[in-house]
Amino acid sequence: MDTRIDQVKPARAATLAGMAALTDTFDLGALGLSAGEGRRLALAVHGAPLDFGGQRYAVEPAPLPVTLDVSRMTGAGWALRLRLAAHLQGPCMRCLEPADPVIEVDAREVDRAGGGEELESPYVEGDALDLRGWARDALVLAMPSQVVCRSDCAGLCPVCGENLNEAPDHAHERDPDPRWAKLRELKLE
């Protein structure tokens, strides 16, 4: 039995950001669960910046706290649930000012190898769970189609690049068509 895991109490998850065991790979077997038993664990994984839409986003906090629910299924196998909330820090894709969206993840995996009904998780190898890889992939899947500083960000003026959030009345006068100018001259004569 891994005593370090026993010290992690789910009720304290919210305050564990800096204290949760840094666990990029989690040993499911060390929980010593028998069939039908489950545990909830407050853990943390190393983060790495995400490249998305041609921009780079830092993932905060680092290390990233995660909540892992582990259930040992009857027969052999694991039912797993991963929850986390990450702040992304990088440019708004419309106006390029800093954006800080919160991405929430609630992901599930089942791993039941052999026994006819095969259901293998790509993150489980024997009793070893690739918690870091799973958290990262789940985060990418939960990304919005566009990272913005706020949902109604007005973006940049396509003509001169001015930030339209700061200058809502910004507009360009259209150059009058030179042929109309000529016509007006003719009428005046």
Binding site for Zn ion (CB under 5 A): 92, 94-95, 149, 153, 157, 159-160, 162
Least CB distance to Zn ion at residue 57 (A): 14
CA pair distance 86, 8, nearest whole angstrom: 20
Q: Which is nearer to Zn ion, 10 or 155 (CB)?
A: 155
Name which of 142 and 157 has its Cβ closer to Zn ion.
157
Q: How far is the CB of 167 from Zn ion (least distance, A)?
A: 8
- Letter string b/e over residues 176-186, b meaning 16 or more CB atoms within 10 A of that residue's CB: eeeeeeeeeee
Nearer CB in complex with Zn ion: 6/162: 162
Cβ distance to Zn ion smaller for residue 95 or 139 = 95
Q: Are 71 and 97 in contact (CB under 8 A)?
A: no
Query: Coil, strand or helix: which one is 184?
Result: helix
DSSP string, 133-179: HHHHHHHHHT--SS--SSTT---B-TTT--BTTT-TT---PPPPPHH
Beta carbon of residue 108, minimum distance to Zn ion (angstroms, whole number) = 33
Q: What is the DSSP letter of 87?
A: E
Q: Which is nearer to Zn ion, 94 or 132 (CB)?
A: 94
Query: Cβ of residue 58: shortest distance to Zn ion, in angstroms?
Result: 17
DSSP conformation class of 30: G
In the complex, the smallest distance separating the C-beta of residue 173 from Zn ion, rounded to whole angstroms, is 11
